[in-house]
């Protein structure tokens, strides 16, 4: 990491419901944290979830959350996340449709930002157990908007559909 750039902790949510989902998550974590500008601090177990929103008939997702430390500004981190999605043949045709890989920035330090390119904290994270539950498993003391992530997870409509599978995927 660059000595001159400030380091910021960010929480990223990863999901996949097409292809070799476990392999995709594992290689995505490795790719996301490959540059010197992004360092993996910790990762959650993988959970299986029903799709939330979007068209019906989609396969179940595998989801996980990672915490990174980065010297990238939030827009550069977003571009990096999109690049990793692209390397896994992510196609954006239907909102909330099936996908090989989805990487969302949930938090970026204490930044609050809302523009056409990037909204952090993620605008729907506080209602999504597929983000909140793995996050609380990774960091039981985590908060989002001043509320315990564990409390938010219990209130999320999709909490009943979460199935815990395994620990963090192996990275290359």
| Residues 115, 112, 133, 167, CA torsion sign | positive
Please give the backbone phi and psi of residue 3, each rounded to the nearest 5 degrees, phi first.
Answer: -70, -25
The residues assigned a catalytic role are 90, 99, 102, 104
**Site of tokens 């999901």:** 15
DSSP state of 161: G
The 3-state secondary structure of 73-104 reads CHHHHHHHHHHHHHHCCCCCCCCCCCCCCEEE
Q: What are the phi and psi torsion angles at 107 (to 5°)?
A: -135, 155
Q: Secondary structure of 37-77 in the HEC alphabet?
A: CEEEEEECCEEEECCCCCCCCCCCEEEEEEEEEECCCHHHH
């Amino acid at each position: 990491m660059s000595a001159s750039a400030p380091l910021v902790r960010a929480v990223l949510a990863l999901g996949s419901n097409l292809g070799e989902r476990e392999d995709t998550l594992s290689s995505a974590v490795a790719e996301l944290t490959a540059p010197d500008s992004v360092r993996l601090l910790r990762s959650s177990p993988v959970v299986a979830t029903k799709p939330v929103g979007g068209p019906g008939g989609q396969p179940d997702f595998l989801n996980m959350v990672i915490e990174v430390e980065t010297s990238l500004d939030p827009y550069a981190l977003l571009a990096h996340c999109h690049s990793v999605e692209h390397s896994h043949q992510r196609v954006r045709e239907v909102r909330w449709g099936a996908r090989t890989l989805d990487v969302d920035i949930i938090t970026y330090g204490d930044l609050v930002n809302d523009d056409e390119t990037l909204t952090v904290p993620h605008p729907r994270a506080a209602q999504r157990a597929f983000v909140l539950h793995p996050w609380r498993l990774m960091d039981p003391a985590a908060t989002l908007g001043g509320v315990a992530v564990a409390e938010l997870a219990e209130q999320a409509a999709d909490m009943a559909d979460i199935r815990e599978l395994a620990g963090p995927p192996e990275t290359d």
